[in-house]
Amino acid sequence: MSDELRLPALEVHQSKGRKLYSFAVDGKLLQDFVTVSRVRRGDGNELSGYQRPEALAHIQEIRAYLEAPSPLIPNSIILAFDSRVRFEPAKGKTSLPYVRTGTLVIPLEKNIADPDKPGFVVDGQQRLAAIRDANIHRLPVCVTAFITNDVRQQTEQFILVNSTKPLPKGLIYELLPGTDAHLPSPLHRRKLPALLMERLNLDEDSPLSGRIRTTTNPTGTIKDNSVLKMIENSLSDGVLFHFLRPERAHGADVASMGEVLHHFWAAVARVFHAAWGLPPKKSRLLHGAGIISLGHVMDAISRVRNVPLIPTEAQYVEKLMPLQELTHWTGGSWNFGNGERRKWNNLQNTPGDIELLSKYLCTPYQKQASRSL
Amino acid sequence: MKFFLPDSQDLVDPSFDFENEQRAKDRRRQRHDLYAHEVFSQPAFDGFLVSKGMVDGFGALGSRYTLSQRLRLSQIGAPEFFRVNRAPHPLQIMGDCGAFTYVKEQKPPYSVDDVMDFYATCRFDYGVSLDHVILDFLPEADAPGAGPRAVPAAIRRRQELTLEYASEFLHKHTRGRHAFKPLGVAQGWSPQSYATSVKRLQQMGYDYIALGGMVPLKTQDILRCLQAIQAQRAHGTRLHLLGVTRTEHIEEFYRLGVASFDSTSPLRQAFKDAHDNYYHNGLTYTAIRIPQVEGNTSLQQRIASGQISQNQARKLETACLQAMRLFDSGRRSISKVIEVLLEYEDLYAPDAKRNHAKDYERTLRDAPWRRCACDICKHLKHHVIIFRGAERNRRRGFHNIWSFYRHMRDSGTDTHEFTVGQQVAGLKERACRTN
Ligand SMILES: [Zn+2]
The ranges assigned to domains in chain B are 2-263, 272-434
Residues lower than pLDDT 50 in chain B:
416-428, 430, 433-435
Number of Cβ within 10 Å of residue A144's Cβ equals: 18
Task: Please report, as a single letter, which amino acid is at residue B344.
Answer: Y
Say which CATH topology domain B2-263 has.
TIM Barrel (3.20.20)
Q: Quote the mean pLDDT of chain A.
A: 89
B96 is catalytic: yes
pLDDT tens sequence across A21-79: 999 999 999 989 998 877 777 777 777 777 777 778 888 888 988 998 889 999 999 99
Mean pLDDT within A178-202: 88
Q: What confidence score (pLDDT) does residue A4 get?
A: 93
Give the nearest chain A residue to B305 (CA atoms).
A40
pLDDT of residue B34: 98
Residue of A nearest to B56 (CA): A355
Distance from CA of B180 to the nearest CA of A (A): 14
**Which letter does DSSP use for residue A250 in this model?**
G
Confidence of residue A371 (pLDDT cuts 50, 70, 90): very low
pLDDT at B206: 98
Query: What angle, 0 to 180 degrees and rounded to 10, lies between the N-to-C axes of helices A185-202 and A254-271?
Result: 50
Q: Does the structure show a pLDDT above 90 at A98?
A: yes
Q: Alpha-carbon distance B126 to B118, whole Å?
A: 12
Q: What local confidence, expressed as pLDDT, does residue A367 receive?
A: 61
Q: What is the dihedral of CA A120, A124, A130, A131, to 10 degrees?
A: -70
B127 burial via Cβ count (<10 Å: 0-12, 13-18, 19+): buried
pLDDT of residue B371: 96
pLDDT of residue B102: 93
- pLDDT over 80 at A245, yes or no: yes
What's the mean pLDDT in A262-270? 97
- On whether any CB of chain B is under 8 Å from the CB of A300, the answer is yes
Given a cut of 70, whether residue A174 has pLDDT beyond it is yes
Asked if B166 and B185 touch (Cβ cutoff 8 Å), the reply is: yes
According to the model, what pLDDT value does residue A306 have? Answer: 66
Give the pLDDT confidence score for residue B414 in this predicted structure.
59
Q: Give residue A296's Cα distance to chain centre.
A: 25
List chain B residues with CB under 8 Å of A366. Answer: 74-75, 121
Contact B290, B344 (CB under 8 A): yes
A138 has a chain B CB within 8 A of its CB: no
Tell me, what's the pLDDT at B431? 53
Three-state DSSP class for residue A286: coil
Q: What angle do CA A319, A325, A329 make, to 5 degrees?
A: 100
Per-residue pLDDT tens digits for B171-181: 999 999 999 99
C-alpha of residue B273 to centroid of ligand 1, in Å: 18
Chain A residues in contact with B307 by the CB 8 A cut-off are: 40
Residue type, B347: L
Closest CA to A37 of A152, A137, A141: A152
pLDDT bracket for residue A173 (50, 70, 90): confident
B231 backbone φψ class: left, alpha, beta (φ>0; ψ -120 to 50): alpha
pLDDT at A307: 67
Task: Judge whether B257 and B226 are in contact, CB under 8 Å.
Answer: yes
Collect all residues of chain B within an 8 Å Cβ-Cβ radius of residue A228. Answer: none
Whether this prediction's pTM lies above 0.90 is answered by no
Is residue B114 annotated as part of the catalytic site, yes or no? no
